[in-house]
Copies of this chain bind each other. A is one copy, B any other.
Amino acid sequence: MIAEIIAAGSEMLTPFRQDTNSLYLTAGLNDLGVQVAFKTIVGDNFDHLTGAARIAISRADIVIFSGGLGPTEDDLTREAAAAALGIEVHPDPAILTALYKRFAARQMIMPPNNAKQADVLDGATLLENKHGSAPGQYLDTTVDSHRKIIILLPGPPKELKPLFLEQVKPRLAASLPPRHLARRQLRMSLIPESQVDARTSPIYKKFPDVETTILAGHAEIQLHFVCAKPTLEEAQARVDELSEKIEAEMEDAIFSSNGDSLEEVVLLNLGIRHLTLASAESCTGGLLAQRLTAIPGSSRYFLGGAVVYSDALKTTFADVPATMVNNLGPVSLEVAHALAEGIRARTGASLGIAITGIAGPTPGTGPDAAKPIGLVYIALADGNQTQVKELQITGDRERVRYWSSQHALELIRHHLL
Contacts and interface: CB of A to CB of B under 8 A. Distances in A.
A200 interface: no
Interface string A5-34: 000000011111010100110110010000
A326 interface: no
A299 B306 contact: no
A304 B287 CA distance: 12
Contact of A296 (B27, B224, B362): B362
B290 A287 contact: yes
Interface in A101-130: none
Interface in A286-324: 286-290, 292-294, 296-299, 302-310, 312-313, 316-317
A347 to B, nearest CB: 6
Given A38-B52, A51-B59, A307-B286, A20 B18 contact: yes
Q: Which of A38, A40, A304, A401 counts the most chain B CB atoms within 10 A?
A: A304
Contact of A285 (B15, B43, B293): B293
A161 interface: no
B15 A27 contact: yes
A254 to B, nearest CB: 19
A294 B285 contact: yes
Given A290-B287, A310-B299, A310-B303, A30 B15 contact: yes
Contacts of A37: 13, 42-43, 45, 48
A310 B348 CA distance: 11
A348 B312 contact: yes
A40 B40 contact: yes
A360 interface: yes
A278 B279 CA distance: 17
Interface string A197-232: 000000000000000010100000000100000000
A325 to B, nearest CB: 13
A309 B36 CA distance: 46
Contacts of A14: 26, 30, 213
Contacts of A52: 38
Q: At the interface, is chain A mostly helix, strand, loop or mixed?
A: mixed
A15 B20 contact: no
B16 A215 contact: yes
Interface residues of A, number: 71
A354 to B, nearest CB: 13
A260 to B, nearest CB: 17
A35 interface: yes
A55 interface: yes
A244 interface: no
B294 A401 contact: yes
Contacts of A304: 282, 285, 306-310, 313, 317
Contacts of A303: 309-310, 312-313
A133 B377 CA distance: 37
Contact of A297 (B18, B30, B294, B362): B362
A205 B303 CA distance: 53
21 contacts: A13-B39, A14-B30, A15-B30, A16-B23, A16-B213, A16-B224, A38-B42, A39-B40, A39-B41, A40-B41, A48-B59, A279-B307, A285-B290, A286-B286, A286-B290, A286-B307, A289-B290, A294-B401, A303-B310, A305-B306, A317-B346
Sorted nearest first, the 7 A-B pairs with minimum C-beta distance are: A285-B293, A286-B286, A286-B289, A304-B309, A15-B27, A304-B307, A286-B290
Interface of A: 12-16, 18, 20, 23-24, 26-27, 30, 35-43, 45, 48, 51-52, 55, 59, 213, 215, 224, 278-279, 281-290, 292-294, 296-299, 302-310, 312-313, 316-317, 346-348, 360-362, 397-398, 401
